[in-house]
Structure 1
């Protein structure tokens, strides 16, 4: 890349290089030379040149024509670049496509976001449980909490709901919370609204079963239901 090209680039408007590429190229297996080659291809594409020659690319790189050809071939073989066929009024031509690169970057970025969100949710749950229990969680309890999220795929929202149910019921222990989550999963419950409706249905049935005299008594805002006695 020479000074004349840089001056022309500045004068004609710079190429917008996605920050995802600059920030994550090592994570998707690219080195600096490969990243620069893809940036150069992106530059040509943005200027309307869909299939720059090896000579064109070599003029912007510290590589010769043969080295550029080898590098492009490796990028295509490794799934960072593709060649697609374009049709315009029955005239067919070839074009480079950076779609594979963007897909890799988006998967990497999305995966990091999900991982960060999951970790934050996990930390929040640990803090919430320790607050409600009034003590640090034991190693077994920490493992159980992680298992609810990782193996059983319970959402943090539902785990918080089960914890609240245990608190209100006065049965604050992991076995009781685990039973609540088990029953919710068995009944296809995925949201707190569904859990609330399901709980009200069970409590109403329980109240009817106790007889009319007890039904006349004032009930608490959220009556206790013993999930461990569920049959």
Structure 2
């Protein structure tokens, strides 16, 4: 991603976001939240959890989870200015986020290599979601486990991860043969 002046008056940030969705590794709700934040910032509406929850028809706790996920990716920075909360999404446009993109690509490449085919967008989203829940390392170990049984299927991989979590196994336990 090239670094651009995200606040330039000629830049349509909503169009830019839509054009770059596949490189940002966002789920649908995260993308909608970014679009809504940009919209509300543009029309100078104070943003709050309840407003976004109402717009997206979700609860405020889920909005908070989305804010946290976006902040972890470096896409959202919350600050206070003149007594108001400021929602800064300039991180979406910054070069510093390439580490997240590289992380996701390496994980997805692992799956494509093992599946011996290109992944669909929904498969990519699902894999990235699994990595956010269980960790990249644990997902790769589950992929290797599934491959050892010739079961290269995301449902099977997810069942492995759920089973390991239910048993309280860490990635180190699994790597050391404890099952």
Interval of TM-score (by shorter of Structure 1 and Structure 2): 0.3 to 0.5
* Structure label with greater radius of gyration: 1
Q: Which has the higher contact order (CA 8 A, sep 6+)?
A: 2
TM-score computed with the length of structure 1 as normaliser? 0.34
TM-score computed with the length of structure 2 as normaliser? 0.43
